[in-house]
Amino acid sequence: MKHKRYEKIGEDLYSGQLHNGLQINVVTKPDFKLAYAVFATNYGGAHRRFYLGGQMHDTPAGVAHFLEHKMFDMPNGDNALSILSANGAQPNAFTSSGMTAYHFDCTDGFEENLRMLLKFVSTPYFTDETVAKEQGIIGQEICMVEDNPGYVVYNRLMRMLYEHNPIRDQVAGSIESIAEITAETLYNCHKAFYAPSNMTLCVAADCDPERIFDIANEMLPRDRAEIPKADMGPAESDMPAKTYNEEFMEVSAPQFLIGAKVKPAPNGDALLRQKLTAQLAIRTLFGTSGDFYNRLYSDGTLNRDYDYEIDYAAGTATIILGGESNKPQAVLEEIKREISNVSENGLDKAAFEAAKHSSFGSRLRGLEDFDNICLALVDGVFGGYCALDSFSILDSISIEECESFLSSFMAADRLALSVISPVKD
Provide CB contacts within 8 A for 108, sequence distance 6+: 88
- From CA 94, how far away is CA 251, in angstroms rounded? 28
Burial of residue 5, with CB atoms counted within 10 A of its CB: 0-12 exposed, 13-18 middle, 19 or more buried: exposed
Contact 363, 394 (CB under 8 A): yes
What string of DSSP letters covers 328-366? Answer: HHHHHHHHHHHHHHHHHH---HHHHHHHHHHHHHHHHHH
Active site includes 333? no
Q: How far is CA 254 from each of CA 145, 240, 302, 378, 413, rounded to the nearest angstrom?
A: 18, 22, 11, 36, 23
Residue in 255, 306, 66 with CA at minimum distance from that of residue 151: 255
Phi-psi region of 10 (alpha: psi -120 to 50; beta: other; left: phi over 0): left
Q: How far is CA 32 from each of CA 27, 35, 91, 92, 205, rounded to the nearest angstrom?
A: 12, 8, 19, 21, 7
Q: How far is CA 165 from each of CA 150, 160, 307, rounded to the nearest angstrom?
A: 21, 11, 25
Q: Give the chain's count of helices (H) and strands (E).
A: 15, 15
- From CA 389, how far away is CA 102, in angstroms rounded? 24
Give me the catalytic one of 68, 236, 338, 403. Answer: 68
Residues with catalytic roles:
68
